[in-house]
Amino acid sequence: MNKTISSVRSQRSNLILCCYFNATSNVQVATSKKLPDWSFEQVVFPGQRLLFEAPSDAYLEIHSSHIVDVDSVQQLLSIRCDRLRVDDGREQEEPILYKVKVARD
């Protein structure tokens, strides 16, 4: 039996808000089943943004198939969820900082 996100929320305190955007013209399926206590599956339509909460160490897998050949489902991407993190307004234990080197003339 798959556990829902709401039941996992009480078990895991490291859930982060994530966003994935389907920039293709194909319907995609987003899944994550690699962690024993968390799973996720959602259809993502072309142009749709998918907001979801996930453990920071989870991976989101994106699958796609052509309507004509439903049996040939391909995995297109595997993205670590902490790379899809968006600011949800909650305080973070450790701030995410990006250092950029600027070339000076």
Quote the pLDDT of residue 92. 54
pLDDT at 10 over 80: no
Quote the pLDDT of residue 87. 80
Distance of CA 4 to the CA centre of its chain: 15
Q: Which tokens hold the place of 46?
A: 């072309």
Does some domain include residue 101? Answer: no
Residue numbers of the domain that contains 71: 5-83
pLDDT at 8 over 60: no
Does some domain include residue 65? Answer: yes
Phi/psi at 83 (nearest 5 deg)? -80, -15
DSSP string over 53-89: EEETT-EEEEEEEETTEEEEEEEEEEEEGGGSB---S
Q: How many domains does the chain have?
A: 1
37 DSSP 8-state letter: T
Does some domain include residue 94? Answer: no
Does some domain include residue 69? Answer: yes
Judged by DSSP in three states, 9 sits in: helix
The model scores a pTM over 0.85: no
Q: Which tokens hold the place of 73?
A: 């489902």
Per residue in 24-81, pLDDT tens? 888 999 998 778 877 889 999 999 999 999 888 899 999 886 655 555 566 678 889 8
Residues across the chain: 105
Q: Tell me the CATH number at 61.
A: 2.60.40
Does some domain include residue 41? Answer: yes
Does some domain include residue 88? Answer: no
Does some domain include residue 100? Answer: no
Per residue in 78-102, pLDDT tens? 889 889 999 867 655 554 444 444 4
